[in-house]
């Protein structure tokens, strides 16, 4: 099995474990939904983007991002996306993107986040957020994006099927 297939399989297994650990019923809020199920809050999310030096895998969030990530243990699900600035995908750059995501995952786990909550995704040669033909743009594209999803069930909420 290739590394990419193993990561996809591990990610699926991680998501399945999170689903078993905490089940949340989320649907659009309507007048019937609120009265019948008692859902008042929808999931909320927060996103942190950490940039990397060229070819680096050292995860160094700035102070404000660190304070957001310190609260990550309270998230229901975390998605970590590793990216590179390489215009043409290669095995080495795929490994670099994966290593950046794994570095961020390690940072979160060391701070008390359950590894079962973390989904890792990576890609090279795609998903640019800035002009990749400039040094500034390349710097913006060498990143890990972390999405933290929080769900707050209300007191009248039941996860049992209706």
For 78-133, what is each residue's pLDDT tens digit? 999 999 999 888 999 999 999 999 999 999 999 999 999 999 999 988 889 999 99
pLDDT of residue 40: 54
Residue 159 pLDDT level (bands cut at 50, 70, 90): low
Separation of alpha carbons 12 and 126, rounded Å? 22
pLDDT of residue 39: 53
**What percent of the residues of the chain are helix, what percent strand, and what percent coil, each to the nearest 5?**
40, 20, 40
Which tokens sit at 50? 């950490």
Contact of 136 with 63, CB cutoff 8 Å:
no
Report the SS3 class of residue 103. helix
Separation of alpha carbons 142 and 132, rounded Å? 10
Contact of 54 with 122, CB cutoff 8 Å:
no
| For helices 3-21 and 91-110, angle between their N-to-C axes, nearest 10 degrees | 30
Contact of 149 with 76, CB cutoff 8 Å:
yes
pLDDT of residue 34: 46
Separation of alpha carbons 116 and 102, rounded Å? 14
pLDDT of residue 125: 83
For 36-65, what is each residue's pLDDT tens digit? 555 556 789 999 999 999 999 999 999 999
Cα radius of gyration (the chain): 18
Residue 19 pLDDT level (bands cut at 50, 70, 90): very low
pLDDT of residue 126: 83
For 148-158, what is each residue's pLDDT tens digit? 999 986 655 55
pLDDT of residue 38: 54
């Amino acid at each position: 099995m290739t590394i990419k297939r193993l990561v996809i399989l591990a990610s699926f297994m991680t998501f399945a474990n999170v689903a078993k650990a905490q089940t949340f019923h989320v649907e659009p809020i309507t007048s019937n939904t609120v009265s019948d199920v008692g859902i008042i809050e929808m999931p909320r999310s927060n996103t942190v983007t950490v940039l990397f030096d060229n070819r680096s895998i050292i995860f160094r969030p700035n102070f404000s991002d660190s304070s957001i990530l310190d609260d990550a243990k309270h998230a229901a699900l975390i998605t970590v996306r590793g990216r590179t600035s390489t215009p043409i995908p290669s095995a080495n750059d795929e490994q670099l993107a994966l290593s950046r995501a794994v570095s961020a995952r390690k940072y979160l786990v060391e701070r008390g986040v359950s590894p079962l909550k973390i989904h890792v995704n990576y890609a090279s040669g795609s998903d640019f957020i800035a002009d990749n033909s400039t040094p500034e743009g390349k710097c913006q594209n060498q990143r890990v994006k972390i999405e933290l999803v929080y769900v707050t069930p209300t007191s009248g909420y039941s996860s049992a099927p209706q």
